[in-house]
Amino acid sequence: MRQSEVQVSRRMEPALTPSSGLSDGTGWALPEDVLEETSRRLSTLAVVAAVLWSMALVINNLFPRGFAGVNTHPYPWPGNLVSGMAVVLAVAMGVYARLAGAGRAALDLGLAFLVVNAFALGLLDEWVARGVRVRSVSWIAVVILIYAMIAPSTPRKTLLAALVAASMDPLGALIARWRGLPVPPASEILLQYWPNYAAAFLAVVPSQVLQRLGRQIAKVRDAGSYQLVQELGRGGMGEVWRAEHRLLARPAAVKIVRPEMLDVASEAEVRLLMQRFMREAQATAVLSSPHTIELYDFGITNDGAFYYVMELLVGRDLETLVRDFGPLPASRTVYLLRQVCHSLAEAHSRDLVHRDIKPANIYVCRMGLDYDFVKVLDFGLVTFGDQAGFRRTVLNADRVTSGTPAYMAPEVILGEAEIDRRADVYALGCVAYWMLTGQLVFEADTRMRMFMDHLQATPVPPSQRTELPIPRELDELVMRCLEKDPETRPRDAGELFDMACSCKVPHGWDNDAAREWWELHLSEFTQPLTLAVPAAPAVPPAATVHS
């Protein structure tokens, strides 16, 4: 999973706390995304209601009475009026629930929609004289149960609305009595429509189930002092969520993995993958370069999921940046390469090797007033000084990849025992090649052919694969990084940083040039970022994470 998948809009949403969902004062709450899904189902239900009421109009006006046993209970003109108004109401409800995205407001209005439909059914059911006829279960009971299963609200509101809806048949009978029609006594009517009230109490069951679901979701999404707001991406190793601190306005990105998400066959494999995840957090935590993704916190949630909290980045990763806008000029390539080297130089000085340097793990950001600010991500394959321990605990796990083929050094492909900083230097050469040309160093249609090219083929200089001018010094720098023999490459990112700083490129790229580029191509990221400040609770919440 890559943090580089994360992109955010200019407007940050408020923190998602249990009280920000749907609640009736009894502790029942749902996250906003679940409410929105329920609203979409309510929209579908409204469309179905519009279709059924339209069918009633067609049957009432086009079929002769008694035709094929369909039109056995034709209504006079009020039937057309009520059915027509019900169609209009259902269409309006469907459009509102679909477009408004109101969540709680849509569900509250949906309860009113239930009552109005029940009133229409009760009115029509009692519009004509009863005579002697056997009564079946009212459509109102059916509607109550269907609504409760598709778009449940809070238990209290659901019960209240369902009881009112169940009373629409007796109300229809009362209106019929006012109109002078013979109707049974009130006690007999209530007894006759007891299934309506039974359905009303049964309708609370889905709400209670959803109540427990809401509490479970709130508990699972609880990551220490941070509350998860919106899922931004997911992959084989876990999920990335946008989150916000409970007391601060600071947004963050939370990387989280739960054991049930891992496609592994044994508990031993789960432990290996969790060890890799913790290794990534620990490796990131010891680095302080401004061009390394900043780690805020990490630990284990109450349900056993490992997580860590990082700064939330605004921008694009290099892979999508070049793919969307084409190769970068030499001056911008050097500008970005120096920042990547700054991050990796610190890692290399601490005897850490990233092992998965690629454009997707290099994020080009807007940071305050700075543009084209680089952040290096995903230290999940980092090698510590203990090479043997690393290979024993990580590389031998069947489902853990040890790099990306297009950016892997020959010695990594061969699985040599000693993998050092020069493997990252080779990958940096591949990244610079991608920035300058918009192409991989070696194009291949299979993983094995890609490996063989990195092992044996001589790369074509980037200056020969692009129409953009590339200074000779930069061309040679890239080709030196791509040497098959590690001994002939720069020894680490620190040496490559010095080479990049001394590399002379025309029309130097700087922050002003970067800002102009962003204003032209990524203007949505150049406006002020508006953060919603969460309300402070009366008492700070107790810590719920154990690390």
Residues designated catalytic: 356
What is the distance between the alpha carbons of residues 208 and 155, in angstroms, rounded to a whole number?
6
**Are 384 and 301 a contacting pair, CB within 8 Å?**
no
The closest of 107, 514, 541, 164 to 335, measured between CA atoms, is 514
Q: Cβ contacts of residue 179 below 8 Å, gap of 6+? A: none
CB burial of 346-385 (b: ≥16 within 10 Å; e: otherwise) equals: bbbeeebbbbbbbbbbbbbbbeeeebbbbbbbbbbbbbee
Q: Cβ contacts of residue 289 below 8 Å, gap of 6+? A: 342, 343, 345, 346, 347
**Are 483 and 489 a contacting pair, CB within 8 Å?**
yes
**Are 146 and 74 a contacting pair, CB within 8 Å?**
no
The closest of 512, 359, 495 to 436, measured between CA atoms, is 359
Angle formed by the axes of helices 421-437 and 472-481, to 10°?
Answer: 140
Q: Determine the 3-state secondary structure of 295 from DSSP.
A: strand
**Are 65 and 72 a contacting pair, CB within 8 Å?**
yes
CA angle at 524 for the pair 252 and 531, rounded to the nearest 5°: 40
End-to-end CA separation in angstroms for the chain = 22
CA angle at 164 for the pair 161 and 167, rounded to the nearest 5°: 150
Strands 370-376 and 362-367, bridge-based pairing:
antiparallel
Give the position of tokens 């009517």.
189
Strand runs labelled E in 246-336 = 251-257, 295-300, 306-311, 315-317
Q: Cβ contacts of residue 507 below 8 Å, gap of 6+? A: 329, 331
